Protein backbone atom coordinates (compact mmCIF):
# COMPACT_ATOMS: atom_id res chain seq x y z
CA UNK A 1 0.00 0.00 0.00
CA UNK A 2 1.33 3.39 -0.98
CA UNK A 3 0.68 6.40 1.19
CA UNK A 4 0.09 9.42 -1.02
CA UNK A 5 -2.37 11.63 0.83
CA UNK A 6 -1.12 14.05 3.52
CA UNK A 7 -3.60 12.68 6.07
CA UNK A 8 -2.36 9.11 5.42
CA UNK A 9 1.23 10.22 5.96
CA UNK A 10 0.33 12.00 9.21
CA UNK A 11 -1.58 8.97 10.49
CA UNK A 12 1.36 6.68 9.73
CA UNK A 13 3.73 9.12 11.44
CA UNK A 14 1.54 9.17 14.55
CA UNK A 15 1.51 5.36 14.66
CA UNK A 16 5.31 5.35 14.29
CA UNK A 17 5.69 7.88 17.11
CA UNK A 18 3.51 5.71 19.34
CA UNK A 19 5.57 2.61 18.56
CA UNK A 20 8.77 4.52 19.39
CA UNK A 21 7.33 5.80 22.67
CA UNK A 22 6.30 2.25 23.62
CA UNK A 23 9.93 1.17 23.14
CA UNK A 24 11.17 4.10 25.24
CA UNK A 25 8.78 3.14 28.04
CA UNK A 26 10.33 -0.34 27.96
CA UNK A 27 13.81 1.18 28.32
CA UNK A 28 15.15 1.62 24.80
CA UNK A 29 17.04 4.88 24.28
CA UNK A 30 17.99 6.72 21.09
CA UNK A 31 20.29 9.56 20.20
CA UNK A 32 18.69 12.85 19.32
CA UNK A 33 15.26 13.92 20.50
CA UNK A 34 13.22 11.25 22.18
CA UNK A 35 9.82 10.20 20.91
CA UNK A 36 8.53 11.34 24.29
CA UNK A 37 9.81 14.90 23.71
CA UNK A 38 8.48 15.00 20.14
CA UNK A 39 4.99 13.83 21.16
CA UNK A 40 4.83 16.20 24.13
CA UNK A 41 5.79 19.20 22.01
CA UNK A 42 3.67 18.45 18.93
CA UNK A 43 0.52 17.32 20.72
CA UNK A 44 0.74 19.38 23.93
CA UNK A 45 0.69 16.39 26.28
CA UNK A 46 2.14 16.49 29.80
CA UNK A 47 3.26 13.90 32.29
CA UNK A 48 5.56 10.91 32.57
CA UNK A 49 6.40 8.65 29.64
CA UNK A 50 3.75 6.19 30.77
CA UNK A 51 1.02 8.80 31.16
CA UNK A 52 1.89 10.46 27.84
CA UNK A 53 1.67 7.03 26.18
CA UNK A 54 -1.77 6.47 27.72
CA UNK A 55 -2.95 9.90 26.55
CA UNK A 56 -1.54 9.34 23.06
CA UNK A 57 -3.21 5.90 22.90
CA UNK A 58 -6.53 7.61 23.67
CA UNK A 59 -5.90 10.11 20.87
CA UNK A 60 -5.18 7.31 18.42
CA UNK A 61 -8.08 5.04 19.47
CA UNK A 62 -10.38 6.26 16.65
CA UNK A 63 -7.55 5.67 14.16
CA UNK A 64 -7.07 2.13 15.46
CA UNK A 65 -10.81 1.44 15.11
CA UNK A 66 -10.79 2.80 11.55
CA UNK A 67 -7.82 0.59 10.70
CA UNK A 68 -9.68 -2.48 12.01
CA UNK A 69 -12.74 -1.65 9.90
CA UNK A 70 -10.63 -1.25 6.76
CA UNK A 71 -8.99 -4.65 7.31
CA UNK A 72 -12.33 -6.49 7.51
Q: How confident is the model at residue 68 (pLDDT cuts 50, 70, 90)?
A: low
The Cα-based distances of 20 to 14, 63, 71 in angstroms read 10, 17, 23
CA distance 50 to 43: 15
Within 10 angstroms of residue 25's Cβ, the number of other Cβ atoms is 15
pTM for the model stands at 0.85
7-41: per-residue pLDDT in tens?
888 988 999 999 999 999 999 998 999 999 999 99
Q: Is the pLDDT of residue 67 over 80?
A: no
Looking at per-residue confidence, does 58 or 65 come out higher? 58
CA distance 70 to 45: 29
Amino acid sequence: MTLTEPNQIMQYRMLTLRAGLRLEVKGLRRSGRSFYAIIKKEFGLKGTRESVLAQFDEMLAPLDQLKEIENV
